[in-house]
Amino acid sequence: MLGVIGGSGFYSFFGADARTVEVDTPYGPPSAPITIGSVGAHEVAFLPRHGVHHEFSPHTVPYRANMWALRTLGVRRVFGPCAVGSLDPQLGPGAVVVPDQLVDRTSGRADTYFDSGGIHVGFADPYCPSLRSAATGLTGVVDGGAMVVIQGPRFSTRAESRWFADQGFRLVNMTGYPESVLARELEMCYAAIALVTDVDAGVESGQGVRAVDVFAEFQRNLGPFKQLVHAAIDRVDVERSCTHCLAHEGVQLPFDLP
């Protein structure tokens, strides 16, 4: 089974024929009940990251519950569509980017399942190469770039966004961490697919980023963006062959993965 975790404005993925399941986890309930449907040859589980009515801000999303619930259902590969700001003037609203690197600038988020035991997790390349390849092979998709994840819920100051751009980061987002590392801890393949909704405040002059404008831009592009995610799923092999995301090979874990 594949998983899709929808970002801001991306609250549904299937029609009325999908079934809904509720999953409890040791970390509480996920953001919403999970809907399961089909995309081509794949059975797909969909979960809206922020809840069905956007009731979770980026720093309050139950990331550990979300990823645990998906794995419990049998999901082993996950696409994480998300809204991002651009730190690159060449990437304007409507661009779709598949990042290849991540920089964590969050604080205080529960970002591991290993609260006991001496465990270390390789994360040099945070995204699954197989899933990235499926998405970057689509027409018009931009391949690569570092995504810096900020704490939120506030947007960056102009000084912060200029600083991020000076470091060579290409995208800024609020939810890409710890979702990606939790997937790695659960040995799930994971790749983000980022829809640019704005150019960040320090990169382009103007009044700065406003939430209302971000949501409006996402809604304008939502139909084609969903079609793109469908197309990426169609390009994923039916059988999982990736070994890159098997982080615990040869390691004795303090508990069994679900």
- CA distances to 88, 138, 144, 166, 196 from 202, in Å: 11, 30, 22, 11, 16
- Domain for residue 245, yes or no? no
- Domain for residue 231, yes or no? yes
Is the pTM above the cut of 0.75?
yes
Choose, from 100, 143, 198, 256, the residue flagged as catalytic: 198
Say if residue 174 carries a ligand binding annotation.
yes
For CA atoms 160, 165, 168, 170, the dihedral sign is positive
For residue range 135-179, list pLDDT tens digits in order: 999 999 999 999 999 999 998 998 999 999 999 999 999 999 999
Count the domains in the chain: 1
- Domain for residue 252, yes or no? no
- Domain for residue 135, yes or no? yes
- Domain for residue 255, yes or no? no
- Domain for residue 93, yes or no? yes
Say if residue 200 carries a ligand binding annotation.
yes
For residue range 34-71, list pLDDT tens digits in order: 999 999 999 999 999 999 999 999 999 999 999 999 99
- Domain for residue 250, yes or no? no
Say if residue 147 carries a ligand binding annotation.
no
| Residue 176, domain CATH | 3.40.50.1580
Joined together, the tokens standing for residue 149 give 């994840």
For residue range 106-125, list pLDDT tens digits in order: 999 999 999 988 889 999 99
Enclosing domain of residue 109: 2-235
Say if residue 42 carries a ligand binding annotation.
no
Instruction: Specify whether 198 is catalytic.
Output: yes
For residue range 182-236, list pLDDT tens digits in order: 999 999 999 999 999 888 766 665 555 666 676 677 677 778 999 999 999 999 9
- Domain for residue 102, yes or no? yes
Q: Which residues of 8-18 are buried (b: 16+ CB within 10 A; e: fewer)?
A: bbbbebbeeeb
Choose, from 115, 200, 234, 256, the residue flagged as catalytic: 200
